[in-house]
A and B are shown apart, each in its own frame.
Chain A
């Protein structure tokens, strides 16, 4: 498998990495188009580049959804894989990219940041994320992780004149590199022991003779987990989240909180369940070697506590936030905790639940950040709870949409997140984690409080000062309304997406 020359063929490359190739082509074409458009004024150039980005992302998501869904194979010598699990996540990430791009058109205009390179960075961030999800090789994972991260670091620092944006981006860069270093160390250790960086080869190697009981292997697993916990924003590796999320441009925050999180969760699931888990050891090729079931005893308590602490600390700290954007940052930490329940459950329902969760979370989180930036006017124009006072009746449409997304994030029916939480909690309860589920669901009471507090500010208080919302452009409106409809639709009729998600999670085992 690892022989590059042996398995290389263009057709296969297109089959497996079609989406990635298209993303690279689109990214390069955008750079060229940007140069060709030099003569025009900055804002119209940004507009054109933005629309090209949106168009190509839509085309790519269609390609991924319809061409790649039924492909189940690894490509380029087992570096990338195309299976339903990755395809589903790629679609989520590209969808997040589309929504973010639509909103960015209005965001850049409102904030007077007519820089066309924004969209080029965005499309490369999407590329990095997609490649990160598709890789089945730790080395490739590391490379694509960096591609994704660097694009996102640059996007986070995009408001050059703003100190918070710079500070957040720098923090993100430092701590992100710190996290990546852990990932690298873990990878190196594993390579030393097993002689391979391919996930399924690792699974085979460490199952021989119960090698996985070796402390060094466990250390490697721990380091890989830490590296990914950074990106997933799991406690105690969540410290960067609030500053970065608050400092970054709102739309970028929305993209980071959804696409990067989706990718990190996807890769975490891949690493854990392909390389370190019994998922594969029950397959045919493993009959001769030891089962990896024993490994669960090591990582499950860790994930148990990480999930509990993430839910608890994320929700608790969000309560004390005065800034809505920062509050949403903490709430995204809490959401990572809920999703971790699905990982802990380690069953088909849990993984399908996470996929469903990531999809619905993408819709509501980007929707919320979309509304947030409009209410903001210009970045940091009106973000505190005080600013939100009384806007419910001044901007009824925006306030209604904000309430909808917040109610959804609070996990109240009939919204998508209620169903998503239901899936991950029921997956955990199925495996007997009643106590954790009960504790976790109690932390969501904090969640109810701080989400509802925004609604209370909007509808039940008199305005403190005259807040002037920014202009709501058509593309942003489309993105927000699509997100809103999606959130309600999935809350009432979740079966369609749930079926797709469970088919997607089943794809995890097929390829390797």
Chain B
């Protein structure tokens, strides 16, 4: 496989942007052409990304399809792309969700269609680049590149408080990532002091030996940047605002992919680069994850707005992902990665479904609905399947992810596992309660009597998501197989060093006890 497939996939959406730039958007027909071009571009990107699937070898733990070209040689910065079992599914998730999202905007985005589709496609490039970049500088460039299109998507096409939400989203993310940039540069120069090589290549840093203070500082700042993105309790406050104000497509991308950047950042960067810092902060991060799981669920329960409910449920679900990562067992980490996919699919689907009724009724308040299962049977069926998947009912994808995470957690931290398990119960409570209030009972609001059911376009973009809900739920090994090697490798990277540290610590302890003995003797 010599063709630079990752480059093709990453930059294909930009070709679509180039085409759209020259299209006019005067009439309804020309708007449809723009939408069509965007859709075709994203579908082609998806098809090309299947080539990645075909070429991926699950028996290799390291990176595959690597492309490495010098970019800014005087600083050792390179255009370095690669893929392993961890990023593999995330890349495919991105290329898979984008066409669905674009299809969902067909009638939802009426004004400034051209600008919207450009923002979506640029965003896709940035997201894909973030997942495949193996050079810290390149990663940072893609990471920041994501911000502007998302800022515009929320700010221009969002709801009433869109500007507040957009600015909040932007500033939260920027604060974290700017500090991270300082630490990236710091890491680079520590590395240079030790080896004499100035480089931003991620793989080179895995063995860099940092002073303990800096290891902790750097991990803390990376963790801070990614925790904002995840978002972890208590840095999650931007998320409900952004989700509620963003247009449906923005919410789907935000929940489906952007949040995964945070957890991905932990797996790819923060944890392997600074295992010592990771070990130091693990208890705190596990605690925050568990708090996030329960807090997110409790807050979701009392939301009057469906979209806000789903947003808080994301806080809870992402808490599971973080918990799975930090227990550092194979089940936990694999469950966590799988849960990232699940969350992308289920929560993405939930946001799409909320968007469907919002388009018809222009409200998202639970109390405005009631009994609409009779009026929209197909809609209710799809919604129920997705709800069950979000709760984690066996045979759906959510079950596998949460089960693996809890299993992995139980091995090392029983208390956390027990507390996290209550989150599953609370999840069932808020989702089912919401479902009951929206769909069952009598139709109380006369406005709901004539809502049209799902149309063909909506079925087309929801169907693949339903397929994946059951596919992952029934045949999880198909997905897990691809990550075994890489996950083992990852755990090895983080844990071996921790063992060594424990060794060193016990050596120190021994030394200390000797020191205590010696003065006694000299007396």
**A residues at B contact (CB < 8 Å):** 393, 407, 412-414, 418-419, 422, 425-426, 429-430, 434, 437-438, 441-442, 444-445, 448-449, 452-453, 455-456, 459-461, 494-495, 498-499, 502
Contacts and interface: CB of A to CB of B under 8 A. Distances in A.
A44 B189 CA distance: 58
Contacts of A494: 72
B148 A426 contact: no
A82 B179 CA distance: 40
13 contacts: A407-B148, A412-B144, A413-B140, A413-B141, A418-B141, A425-B181, A426-B75, A426-B185, A429-B185, A434-B186, A442-B178, A444-B178, A495-B73
Given A444-B178, A459-B152, A498-B74, 8 more contacts: A426-B185, A429-B185, A429-B189, A442-B175, A442-B178, A445-B171, A460-B162, A498-B72
Contacts of B288: none
Contacts of A418: 141, 144
A85 to B, nearest CB: 18
A445 B228 CA distance: 15
A460 B171 contact: no
B366 interface: no
B112 A393 contact: yes
A456 B112 contact: no
Nearest to A412: B144
Interface in B132-178: 137, 140-141, 144-145, 147-148, 151-152, 155-156, 162-163, 166-167, 170-171, 174-175, 178
A412 B73 contact: no
A-B pairs with lowest CB-CB distance, top 4: A413-B141, A426-B185, A441-B178, A429-B185
B182 A456 contact: no
Given A452-B151, A459-B156, A429 B182 contact: yes
Contacts of A430: 185, 189
Contacts of A499: 74
Given A393-B112, A412-B147, A495-B73, A441 B182 contact: yes
A448 B186 CA distance: 23
Contacts of B178: 441-442, 444-445
B167 A449 contact: yes
B204 to A, nearest CB: 16
Interface size band for B: 20 to 34
Contact of A448 (B145, B170, B188): B170
A419 B137 CA distance: 10
A164 B215 CA distance: 54
Contacts of A498: 72, 74
Contacts of A461: 163
A405 to B, nearest CB: 14
A452 B167 contact: yes
Contacts of A456: 155, 163, 166-167
A460 B188 CA distance: 39
Interface string B474-509: 000000000000000000000000000000000000
Nearest to B221: A438
A320 to B, nearest CB: 16
B86 to A, nearest CB: 24
Interface string B272-306: 00000000000000000000000000000000000
Contact of A449 (B137, B147, B171): B171
B268 to A, nearest CB: 19
Contacts of B162: 460
A140 B321 CA distance: 66
Contacts of B185: 422, 425-426, 429-430, 437
Given A407-B148, A426-B185, A441 B179 contact: yes
Given A412-B148, A438-B182, A445 B175 contact: yes
Nearest to A407: B148
A448 B171 CA distance: 8
Contacts of A455: 152
A414 B167 contact: no
Contacts of A502: 74
A438 B186 CA distance: 10
A426 B192 CA distance: 13
B503 to A, nearest CB: 30
B112 A413 contact: no
A425 B171 contact: no
Contacts of B188: 426
Interface string B182-225: 10011011000000000000000000000000000000000000
A434 B167 contact: no
B403 to A, nearest CB: 40
Contact of A459 (B155, B174, B179): B155
A444 B181 CA distance: 12
B182 A425 contact: yes
Contact of B144 (A413, A419, A425, A441): A413
Contacts of B166: 456, 460
B242 to A, nearest CB: 14
Interface in B507-521: none
A162 to B, nearest CB: 34
B212 to A, nearest CB: 16
Nearest to A446: B171
B143 to A, nearest CB: 9
Contacts of B189: 426, 429-430
A453 B164 CA distance: 11
Nearest to B193: A430
Contact of B72 (A393, A429, A495): A495
Interface string B64-92: 00000001111100000000000000000
A449 B167 CA distance: 7
Contact of A437 (B145, B175, B182): B182
B518 to A, nearest CB: 37
A455 B154 CA distance: 13
B147 to A, nearest CB: 7
Nearest to A461: B163
Interface string B108-131: 000010000000000000000000
A386 B235 CA distance: 32
Given A407-B148, A412-B148, A425-B182, A445 B73 contact: no
Nearest to B162: A460
Contacts of A495: 71-74
A438 B144 CA distance: 17
B140 to A, nearest CB: 7
A355 B155 CA distance: 36
Contacts of B141: 413-414, 418
A487 to B, nearest CB: 14
A502 B167 CA distance: 37
Q: Please indicate which of the listed interface residues B73, B74, B144 has the most CB atoms of chain A within 10 Å of its own CB.
A: B74
A495 B162 CA distance: 39
A114 B36 CA distance: 51
Contact of B174 (A393, A414, A434, A448): A448
Contacts of B144: 412-413, 418
A448 B172 CA distance: 11
A185 to B, nearest CB: 38
A494 B74 CA distance: 10
A156 to B, nearest CB: 34
Contacts of B72: 419, 494-495, 498
Contacts of B155: 456, 459-460
B233 to A, nearest CB: 22
A263 to B, nearest CB: 26
Contacts of B140: 413
B155 to A, nearest CB: 5
